[in-house]
Amino acid sequence: MAVLINADTKVICQGITGSFGAVHTRGCLHYGTKMVGGVTPGKGGQKDANGLAIFDTVKQAVDETGAEATMIFVPPAFTGDAILEAADAGIRVICAITEGVPVQDMIRVRAVLDEMNISARGADVEPAQDLFTLIGPNCPGVITPGPKTGGDKSAADPYTNNGCKIGIMPGYIHTHISEAKTGKAVGIVSRSGTLTYEAVWQTSNFGLAQSTCIGIGGDPVRGIDHIDCLRLFEDDPETAGILMIGEIGGTDEEAAAAYIKENVTKPVAAFIAGRTAPPGKRMGHAGAIISGGEGTAQSKITALRGAGAVIAETPADMGRAMVEAMGL
């Protein structure tokens, strides 16, 4: 089990002929992801370097391949449109890797996606199940690790036959539950890319597996947040613990702490980056008004500790904190 994606998830890449799109499409193929095609408007009918079909529109790609997930590498100016194109075509998991998307674009995109989800799920369906899940933008993506095969050099000889990587993370640091010494898997959710790799690496070194790792992205307005991921992990039978990585700014971690207190029964460990960051940098005046005294590392740590999470005092301590929370 895992959340959002699994070995059967069929994935396309929007921006497959761009330099990043091409590199990471290959990376995902080598990991073992079921990449089924890509989209670059105007290059429909061609094949990419891996022999994948290229389509002009996401709709065509979905009709031809049955794709359920996408990773978006188009430039920032076109990312908002690419996200909405994917949703219009019925793509379920939309993973926007692109960094530098204007905030106002994301405000509009989120509003449209939220409306699509509300009308798709209907008013009387409980619990609410989102039809479209946006991950990112400005994120490393999402990965459900699979067991190693010994290969990783080509799509024909992939790293795993039973995993799915959608994004830019290094695959080899992740561990499948069948290969974990503890026999337990944790879910990881993080606002930061490389800090997620650090957390994954540490948990792997402690003999833990990862059920699914979700990089939700560092932008102020984005798709799924900590709480969505906590809910997914709480409901996933394979996930035995949750590692949450936040950073200064905003109030998402405080909200997550309140959610954990009410709704999460699984052990939670957390790290908040930016404890030593100087105040005033990157924080606008009016933003500080809205968040009041919240948004500092200390306020987040206090809230999470109050919700029963084990706090990693340093980033080098994330794996150990997870193990402690799980009582291993």
Partner 1 sequence: MKIHEYQGRDLLASYGVPVPAASVIESIEDAATTYKRVTSEAGTDLAVIKAQVHAGGRGKAGFVKLVRSPEEATEAAKFMLSNKMVSVQTGPDGLEVTKLLVAAGVDIAHEYYLAITTDRATRKNVLIASAEGGVEIEKVAEENPDAIIKTPIHPLIGLQPHQAREVAFRLGFKGKQVGQAVKAMMALSQLFVEKDCSLAEINPLIVTPSTGDAPDGQVLAIDAKFTFDDNATFRHKDIAGLFDPAEENPAELRAQRFGLSYIALDGNIGCLVNGAGLAMATMDTIKHYGGEPANFLDVGGSATEEAVTEAFRIILSDHAVKGIMVNIFGGIMDCAVIAQGIVNAAKEVGFKVPLVVRLEGNNVEAGRAILKEASASLSTLQAAEDLADAGEKVVKAVG
Near partner 1 by CB under 8 A, which window of 46-54, 63-71, 102-110, 148-156? 102-110
Quick check: 316 binds partner 1 (CB under 8 A)?
Answer: yes
Verify whether residue 24 is a known catalytic residue. Answer: no
Active-site choice (174, 176, 226, 285): 285
Options 18, 20, 60, 238; binder of partner 1; rule CB under 8 A: 20
Is the Cβ of residue 1 or residue 103 nearer to partner 1 in the bound state? 103
Query: Shortest distance, CB of residue 21 to partner 1, whole angstroms?
Result: 12
Options 126, 276, 279, 327; binder of partner 1; rule CB under 8 A: 276
Quick check: 28 binds partner 1 (CB under 8 A)?
Answer: no
Near partner 1 by CB under 8 A, which window of 30-38, 120-128, 151-159, 311-319? 311-319
Q: Which of 275, 263, 267 is nearest to 313 (CA)?
A: 275
Options 161, 178, 194, 263; binder of partner 1; rule CB under 8 A: 194
Options 1, 49, 103, 118; binder of partner 1; rule CB under 8 A: 103
What is the spatial distance between Cα 8 and Cα 85, in angstroms, rounded to a whole number?
23
Asked whether the beta carbons of 164 and 6 are under 8 A apart, the reply is: yes
Window 159 to 178, contacts with partner 1 (CB under 8 A): 168-170, 173
Is the Cβ of residue 44 or residue 274 nearer to partner 1 in the bound state? 274
Window 122 to 141, contacts with partner 1 (CB under 8 A): 140
Options 150, 278, 279, 327; binder of partner 1; rule CB under 8 A: 278
Quick check: 258 binds partner 1 (CB under 8 A)?
Answer: no
For β-strands 164-167 and 141-144, DSSP reports them as antiparallel
Q: What is the separation of C-alpha 240 from the centre of its chain, rounded to a whole number of angstroms? A: 18
Tokens 């997550």 belong to which residue?
A: 256
Options 275, 302, 324, 328; binder of partner 1; rule CB under 8 A: 275
Is the Cβ of residue 53 or residue 221 nearer to partner 1 in the bound state? 221
Quick check: 71 binds partner 1 (CB under 8 A)?
Answer: no
Query: Shortest distance, CB of residue 286 to partner 1, whole angstroms?
Result: 4
Is the Cβ of residue 57 or residue 283 nearer to partner 1 in the bound state? 283
Q: Which residues are catalytic?
A: 285
**Sites of contact with partner 1 (CB under 8 A):** 20, 24, 76-77, 99-108, 110-112, 140, 168-170, 173, 190-198, 201, 218, 220-221, 245, 247-252, 255, 271, 273-278, 281, 284-292, 313-317
